[in-house]
A and B are shown apart, each in its own frame.
Chain A
Amino acid sequence: MNSVIFVTIGIVLLTLLWARGRRHGSAFVRSRPVTDASQYLAQLPPSSLLGRCFSEEDVRFVASLGSQAVLRLLLQERRRLALEWLRLTRHEARRLFGLHVRTVRFVADLRPATEFKLLVQAGGFLFTSEVLEVLVRWYGPFRAHAYVQSIQGLGSVLAGLGGGIAQSIPPAAASGIAPAHGE
Chain B
Amino acid sequence: MKGNSARLEAAVQDLYDRTLAGLNGDLTRLVYLSSTRDYNTGEYQHAGLADRFGPDTAQHALALCHEAAFRDLLVLNLAHFIGQVAAYIESTGADRERVLDAWRHLQAYRVLVPRTCDQLSADFFASNVRIALEALRTAQRAVLAH
Contact A61 B120 (CB under 8 A): no
Q: Which of A52, A65, A88 contacts B124 (CB 8 A)?
A: A52
- Chain A interface residue count, Cβ-Cβ cutoff 8 angstroms: 25
Contact size class for B? 10 to 19
Determine if A55 and B77 form an interchain contact, defined as CB atoms under 8 angstroms apart: yes
**Taking the complex as formed, is A26 at the interface, i.e. its CB lies under 8 A from any CB of chain B?**
no
Give B1 Cβ to nearest chain A Cβ, in Å.
18
Residues of chain B within 8 A of A115, CB atoms compared: none
The smallest beta-carbon distance between A32 and chain B, in angstroms, is 29
A181: chain B residues within 8 A (beta carbon): 118
Q: Which 9 A-B pairs have the closest CB atoms?
A: A58-B78, A77-B127, A67-B138, A61-B79, A45-B120, A70-B134, A70-B135, A57-B77, A74-B131
- Give 26 A-B contacts (CB < 8 Å), ordered by A residue: A43-B118, A45-B118, A45-B120, A49-B120, A52-B75, A53-B124, A57-B79, A58-B77, A62-B78, A62-B131, A62-B135, A65-B135, A65-B139, A67-B135, A67-B138, A69-B138, A70-B138, A73-B130, A73-B134, A77-B127, A77-B130, A81-B123, A81-B124, A81-B127, A84-B123, A88-B120
Interface residues of A (CB under 8 A from B): 43, 45-46, 49, 52-53, 55, 57-58, 61-62, 65, 67, 69-70, 73-74, 77-78, 80-81, 84-85, 88, 181
